């Protein structure tokens, strides 16, 4: 057996068999289990000090006074069950989460209290506010929070018809979902700022409200990072088909970048409609994550979004975005400049080809010029609309430098000079030396051509004089028109 197979088998065998999804590991089977906490953490939280909540269930019809009256089932996950409830004193409807009756244990109850305590610290527009944690009638902890009226995101995503046969979200629909995703990234970045990682980010833990509000729920296995920004887990906790490879290691060392991977997994699910890791059994899913943590990206993925998703889902956390905030910044650009980022990817390709061609002595000159011109105009267009994109500015510099040198060697003096001027302006002081070298080469070439009485150089001079005269005439005409206007 390979290492990955061994590890996947070992890990899968540590999970209680009644929690194992048998057919396939889709997010529809919410499955957060925190073995690390149930196995290891000391019972620092006890139900004893929780205040009693008088909860009326549907069967207690004759009860007169109560704090909460339980209503309909809202949803349930691998560990909790959530109902709507009426809070009598404030006359409002809330959501109450309790441990699923078939999952009750001291560890599970502790987990719910830990969830409440962490949620209590996370006051953010995209995180449901925890109202209180108390003890229910049969001594079970009850987490009371805002009831987000809406649909789980995975249900919403499942409704989208596959537009072009490949099932990938595109255009306005994609843009809309990405705007919801931004809210989630903001919530995660905020929680990281509080030293808390979520560990179970996925569409079924996100609810989209009736008015487009977006909420990240289920902080059940979230944990506080140590001072060094790391959380040493003792086992796997999370949802396999979204999990990051480090969550599967023997002694998982988790940090904010683990959530970055999970954000990448969620993004992958948004665009494709399915989670990144799949398999018939948990063991198979684990093995896939260990052997190929980067999912495949089908043709048709928008380039810029693909680059972003890949960067979030790199196997090695050091290669990922260093933080949710950094990922968020890129995401904002991708949404705002979506079409431009596609053009940027094309220009990158052109520039690489141009650099390669520049070194080839036997290159096809007209092809080189054509490629260079396309690359130059593409980069200029991006920079015009997106002036803060410094990568594009640097690439345009490189492109102009290559084009100027090529124009000099092709003895196209006017072109070389105008490219050199543009290069000088763009590169500023850092490019001044290079621009000077180019200028000297152009001047030397001009002298050489003039000295030779070269017909070409004469032509150039004539052309320049004619152009100058035309400009002067244009200027005069404009002045006349202007003066007329002023009268
Ligand atoms: N505050 C809430 N408002 C509305 N729906 C909720 C709320 N909390 C949970 N839910 C629903 O209940 C489901 C299960 O809750 P969750 O906290 O994810 O449980 P688990 O910890 O078992 O995964 C969620 O997927 C969501 O659909
Ligand atoms: Mg859940």
Residue 134 beta carbon below 6 angstroms from any ligand 1 atom: no
**Angle between helices 3-13 and 282-291 in degrees, nearest 10:** 140
pTM of the model: 0.70
What pLDDT score was predicted for residue 456?
A: 64
Contact by Cβ (8 Å): 234, 39: yes
What pLDDT score was predicted for residue 8?
A: 82
Contact by Cβ (8 Å): 438, 404: yes
Q: Distance between CA 287 and CA 278 in Å, rounded?
A: 10
Give per-residue pLDDT as tens, 80-107. 999 999 998 999 999 999 999 998 999 8
Residues of the chain with pLDDT under 70: 1, 15-48, 59-64, 162-165, 453-458
Query: Ligand 1 centroid vs 370 CA: distance in angstroms?
Result: 57
What pLDDT score was predicted for residue 28?
A: 31
Q: Which of 21, 34, 75 to mutate to test the pocket of ligand 1 (most atoms within 8 A of CB)?
A: 75
Give per-residue pLDDT as tens, 369-383. 999 999 999 999 999
Q: Which residues pair with 130 in a beta bridge?
A: 145
Report the CATH fold assignment for 3-322.
Transferase(Phosphotransferase); domain 1 (1.10.510)
What pLDDT score was predicted for residue 455?
A: 63
Residue 220 beta carbon below 6 angstroms from any ligand 1 atom: yes
Q: Which residues pair with 33 in a beta bridge?
A: 238
Protein residue closest via CA to atom 16 of ligand 1: 218
Which residues in the chain are classed under CATH 1.10.510.10? 3-322
What pLDDT score was predicted for residue 39?
A: 37
The closest ligand to the CA of 206 turns out to be 1
What pLDDT score was predicted for residue 348?
A: 92
Q: Which of 33, 34, 71, 74 to mutate to test the pocket of ligand 1 (most atoms within 8 A of CB)?
A: 74
What pLDDT score was predicted for residue 61?
A: 66
Residue 142 CB-half CA count within 13 A: 25
What pLDDT score was predicted for residue 21?
A: 37
What pLDDT score was predicted for residue 453?
A: 66
Q: Mention every residue, 6+ apart, whose C-beta is less than 8 A from residue 327.
A: 185, 260, 263, 308, 311, 312, 321
The closest ligand to the CA of 220 turns out to be 1
What pLDDT score was predicted for residue 64?
A: 64
Q: Distance between CA 159 and CA 221 in Å, rounded?
A: 29
Phi, psi of 124 (to 5 degrees): -150, 145
Residue 264 beta carbon below 6 angstroms from any ligand 1 atom: no
Residue 128 beta carbon below 6 angstroms from any ligand 1 atom: yes
What pLDDT score was predicted for residue 49?
A: 78
């Amino acid at each position: 057996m390979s290492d990955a197979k061994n590890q996947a088998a070992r890990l899968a065998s540590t999970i209680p068999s009644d929690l194992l999804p048998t057919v396939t590991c889709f997010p529809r089977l919410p499955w957060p289990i925190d073995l690390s906490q149930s196995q290891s953490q000391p019972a620092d939280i006890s139900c004893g000090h929780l205040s009693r909540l008088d909860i009326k269930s549907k069967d207690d019809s004759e009860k007169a006074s109560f704090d909460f009256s339980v209503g309909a089932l809202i949803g349930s996950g691998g560990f909790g069950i959530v109902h709507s409830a009426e809070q009598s004193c404030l006359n409002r409807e809330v959501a109450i989460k309790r441990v699923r009756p078939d999952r009750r244990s001291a560890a599970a109850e502790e987990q719910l209290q830990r969830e409440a305590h962490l949620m209590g610290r996370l006051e953010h527009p995209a995180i449901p506010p925890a109202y209180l944690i108390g003890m229910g009638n049969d001594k079970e902890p009850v987490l009371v929070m805002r009831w987000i009226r809406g649909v789980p995101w995975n249900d919403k995503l499942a409704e989208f018809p596959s537009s072009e046969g490949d099932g990938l979200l595109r255009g306005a629909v994609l843009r809309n979902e990405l705007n919801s995703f931004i809210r989630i990234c903001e919530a995660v970045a905020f929680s990281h700022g509080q030293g808390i990682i979520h560990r179970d980010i996925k569409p079924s833990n996100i609810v989209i409200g009736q008015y487009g509000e977006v909420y990240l729920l289920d902080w059940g296995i979230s944990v506080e990072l140590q001072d060094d920004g790391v959380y040493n887990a003792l086992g796997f906790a999370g949802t396999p088909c979204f999990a990051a490879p480090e969550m599967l290691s023997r002694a998982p060392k988790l940090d904010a970048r683990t959530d970055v991977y999970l954000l990448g997994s969620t993004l992958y699910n948004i665009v494709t409609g399915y989670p990144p890791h799949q398999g018939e059994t948990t063991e198979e899913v684990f093995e896939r994550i260990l052997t190929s943590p980067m999912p495949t990206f089908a043709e048709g993925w928008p380039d810029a979004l693909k680059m972003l998703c890949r960067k979030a889902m790199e196997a090695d956390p050091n290669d990922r975005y260093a933080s949710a905030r950094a990922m968020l910044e890129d995401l904002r650009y991708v949404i705002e400049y979506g079409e431009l980022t596609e053009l940027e990817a094309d220009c990158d390709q052109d520039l690489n080809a141009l650099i390669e061609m520049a070194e080839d002595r036997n290159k096809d000159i007209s092809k080189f010029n054509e490629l260079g011109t396309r690359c130059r105009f593409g980069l200029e267009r991006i920079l015009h609309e997106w002036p803060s994109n410094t990568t594009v500015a640097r690439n345009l510099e490189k492109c102009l430098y290559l084009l100027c040198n090529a124009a000099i060697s092709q003895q196209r003096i006017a072109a070389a000079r105008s490219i050199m001027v543009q290069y000088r302006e763009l590169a500023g002081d850092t490019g001044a030396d290079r621009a000077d070298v180019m200028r000297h080469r152009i001047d030397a070439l001009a002298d050489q051509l003039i000295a030779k009485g070269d017909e070409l150089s004469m032509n150039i001079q004539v052309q320049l004089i004619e152009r100058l005269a035309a400009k002067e005439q244009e200027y005069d005409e404009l002045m006349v028109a202007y003066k007329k206007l002023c009268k």
